[in-house]
Structure 1
Amino acid sequence: MPAAHIPIHAIKGRGAATRLAHRFSRDERNAFDDGWGTLEEGAAEAEELPPLATEVRFEDVKSVLNENDSPDISFDRSLNPYRGCEHGCIYCFARPTHSYLNLSPGLDFETRLIAKRNIAEVLRTELGRKSYRPSHVAIGTATDCYQPIERELRLTRSVIELLKETHHPFALVTKSSAVERDLDLIAPMAAEHLAAVYVTVTTLDGELARKLEPRAAAPHRRLRTIRTLAEAGVPVGVSVAPQIPFVNEDMEQVLEAAWAAGARSAFYTVIRLPWEVAPLFKEWLALHYPQRADRIMARIHEMRGGKDYDADFATRMKGSGLWADLIRQRFEKAANRIGFNRERIALDLSAFRPPGAAGQGSLF
């Protein structure tokens, strides 16, 4: 019997179209056509449902700083105030982490968020240990530290307040203009070589961005954020990641616009499709780019040794093969021509001083 065609529909304001079962699920349920038109009726009813609401759960964590020894990553430690991300970027490599929570890497990743409400208190304890030695901390490397719920919860701000108190260097990466609200903390730290910000601009095409990253700031707004940060004296870099063949093809234009706005460093990665990200991305292609979906996946396979994804440290960030080499050449030529990466952003590790107990100020 031929497989039934299961139509899927884009959900306004969300990147994923389904609650894809995670890899630890014992069963998976799919709709099927029973010949009575129920599939079409169900699809019509789904289109009339109200928008999916975002749920926030709270978690008390035991540790905050994640140690990193991966040879292809430039920072030693990272922290993320939130699990899941309302921005809904369909390509997000962190989606599979929701599987460990028994939640879907699809719609659950965007709508069922976890906030680490005691993150600042636990970080204070970790920074205060006698054995602690300062190192560069990257904030928001898995999920965006300035996603919409930060407006009310202010967990990222509480972390930066502690880092400012202890003179601890950090860098963060975001797609959100909300970072501007913390300029009163970030700008003074940047003046002391303790802070840097990287803004991800995947494309300048607003329509494409709404499909790829439905709840992130619009491209023009991110450029304005770069300008605001740069004018405040904050070292700003631009991430033109991920590069997706035949989808976002305006890398050079993004780099030029980011330079004009004030960014002075830049980096890129190619799309990564680990675990459940691969089927989710294929669903997204079927919804938005059905005529070129096969061509896009063929180029991704070409960069990944014939697979959806290859986790090898040597190639996972940039890929391998002819197509990956072409992307690398495009980036390097554009970055060199424009002037990016001529000066390294050096953060000061020598100024760190251990924190006092919570609520206790320093006399010095």
Structure 2
Amino acid sequence: MLGPLPAAARKGRGAVSNLQGRYEVNGRERFDDGWDDDEDDAPALKTVVTDEVAKSILTRNASPDIPFNVSLNPYRGCEHGCIYCFARPTHAYLGLSPGLDFESRLFAKINAPELLRRELAKPGYVPENIALGVNTDAYQPCERELKITRRVLEVLYECRHPVGLISKSSLMERDIDILAPMAEQRLACAAVTLTTLDPRISRTLEPRAAAPERRLRTIRTLSEAGIPVSVSVAPIIPFVTEPEIERILEAAFDAGASGAHYVVLRLPHEVNPLFQEWLQAHFPDRAQRVMNRVRDMRGGKDYDSDFSTRMAGEGVWADLIRQRFYKTVERLGMSELRGRFGRLDTSQFRRPLMVPAAAGKHGGKAAGQLDLF
């Protein structure tokens, strides 16, 4: 009998479907029409990067469970394709799917360095630590060619402005020439996300991010260059990555990480059905156990966005994870990531000497606007 097709894994991609975004009017459903559409014969899904002329570049938040108030994201969408990414639902605002669209239809904020320079030049600007690449990875593959993140770092270095970076990419090593002298002046720190040490799990969980062993090498390289490095064990997924907590921390410590942080799996909005599709495609034998444990840590729900519990969960299982994590951190002599970020120095800030003219409607200089100097 013909009917709806189950979602199937696609090589090199995290999501297994182009799930409808919550703002879309028209619904979509895969359907078996009898023509034997073999998923293996489907053409490769190409990544398309579209230039975006952004109107603003710094994002501010008042979340009490986040160790920074200001962030900068050079890209929308992320080719790394991490199935658990909490930023996936933001693609729905663009009329695109938080599924495959999120990891294949990207937007590059090509005027990010210029916007940042103008922001830092404002008379009322008060320097705060900027977190770079929080929503989506600032060092995803297209950064190799576009170099937006590097140009943003050049502005921050020129202005002696503190920055903290977090990434799953070894491309961060490219910018050691900027980050090392900034770190020496207490203006920069870095964190590398390490979800699992198992390359087989990583290959499906975060298919286009650096392999676990490569991330450990990045930790070592940054640390040896004098850049304070922390490891972000995030997210911790019950029965998938959770058994590795201690081994991940030990491996990161041996590689040179001196700080650590963790987040339990979060499933906001469309991330929930996308993650459950992924579970059924890759871990059908334990899918129900995983979701039962997730609900144990979320008060019986798939997700709870309450600030007091959304990062660490609640209940017996969440407490066991917390104890395992912090006992290992204490045994190894590592510090907490929040404290590391707070030790950056904002007192050295100086406003940029060169400030570009305000952009007009099409990204150029505003029509009729003259330079003051």
TM score, norm. by length of structure 2: 0.92
* Cα deviation code 1:245-303 (max 9, x no counterpart): 00002010010011111100000000100000000001000100111101100111111
| Alignment match, 2:150 | 157
Which amino acid in structure 2 is aligned with residue 16 of structure 1?
Answer: A
Residue 190 (structure 1) aligned with residue 183 (structure 2): yes
**Where do 1:83-98 residues align within 5 Å?**
83-98=76-91
| Alignment match, 2:22 | 23
**Which consecutive unaligned segments of at least 5 residues does structure 2 have?**
358-373
Deviation at 1:49? 2.3
| Alignment match, 1:100 | 93
User: Secondary structure of the residue that 2:166 maps to in structure 1?
Assistant: strand
Contact 2:92 2:98 in 1 (8 A): yes
The 1-side partners of 2:2 and 2:249 are apart by 45
**Where do 1:49-128 residues align within 5 Å?**
49-128=42-121
User: Secondary structure of the residue that 1:240 maps to in structure 2?
Assistant: strand
Residue 341 (structure 1) aligned with residue 335 (structure 2): yes
Deviation at 1:50? 2.7
Task: Decide whether aligned partners of structure 1 residues 17 and 9 sit closer, same or farther in structure 2, where only a CA change above 3 A counts.
Answer: same
Which amino acid in structure 1 is aligned with residue 234 of structure 2?
Answer: A
RMSD over aligned CA atoms reads 1.6
Contact 2:197 2:212 in 1 (8 A): yes
User: Secondary structure of the residue that 2:230 maps to in structure 1?
Assistant: strand
Which amino acid in structure 1 is aligned with residue 55 of structure 2?
Answer: K
Which amino acid in structure 2 is aligned with residue 189 of structure 1?
Answer: M
* Cα deviation code 1:188-230 (max 9, x no counterpart): 1001100000000101101100010000000000000000000
Residue 275 (structure 1) aligned with residue 275 (structure 2): no
**Where do 1:1-364 residues align within 5 Å?**
4=3, 6-33=5-32, 37-38=34-35, 41-42=36-37, 44=38, 46-248=39-241, 249-341=243-335, 344-345=339-340, 346-358=343-355
The 2-side partners of 1:69 and 1:356 are apart by 30
The 2-side partners of 1:342 and 1:174 are apart by 17
TM score, norm. by length of structure 1: 0.94
The 1-side partners of 2:60 and 2:83 are apart by 26
Contact 2:20 2:27 in 1 (8 A): yes
Aligned residues: percent identity? 58
Deviation at 1:31? 2.8
Deviation at 1:32? 3.1
The 2-side partners of 1:4 and 1:179 are apart by 46
The 1-side partners of 2:60 and 2:10 are apart by 36
User: Secondary structure of the residue that 1:241 maps to in structure 2?
Assistant: strand
Which amino acid in structure 2 is aligned with residue 27 of structure 1?
Answer: N
The 1-side partners of 2:265 and 2:210 are apart by 20
User: Secondary structure of the residue that 1:269 maps to in structure 2?
Assistant: strand
Deviation at 1:58? 1.0
The 2-side partners of 1:33 and 1:86 are apart by 29
User: Secondary structure of the residue that 2:204 maps to in structure 1?
Assistant: helix
The 2-side partners of 1:324 and 1:57 are apart by 40
Q: Spell out structure 1 runs of 4+ moving beyond 4 A.
A: 2-5
**Which consecutive unaligned segments of at least 5 residues does structure 1 have?**
none
User: Secondary structure of the residue that 1:222 maps to in structure 2?
Assistant: helix
Which amino acid in structure 2 is aligned with residue 142 of structure 1?
Answer: N
Task: Decide whether aligned partners of structure 1 residues 244 and 82 sit closer, same or farther in structure 2, where only a CA change above 3 A counts.
Answer: same
The 1-side partners of 2:311 and 2:101 are apart by 26
The 2-side partners of 1:309 and 1:113 are apart by 27
Deviation at 1:57? 0.6
The 1-side partners of 2:154 and 2:195 are apart by 29
Contact 2:78 2:140 in 1 (8 A): yes
Deviation at 1:4? 4.2
The 2-side partners of 1:288 and 1:250 are apart by 18
The 1-side partners of 2:254 and 2:326 are apart by 18
The 2-side partners of 1:82 and 1:89 are apart by 15
Q: Which moved more, 1:268-277 or 1:349-358?
A: 349-358
Which amino acid in structure 1 is aligned with residue 351 of structure 2?
Answer: P
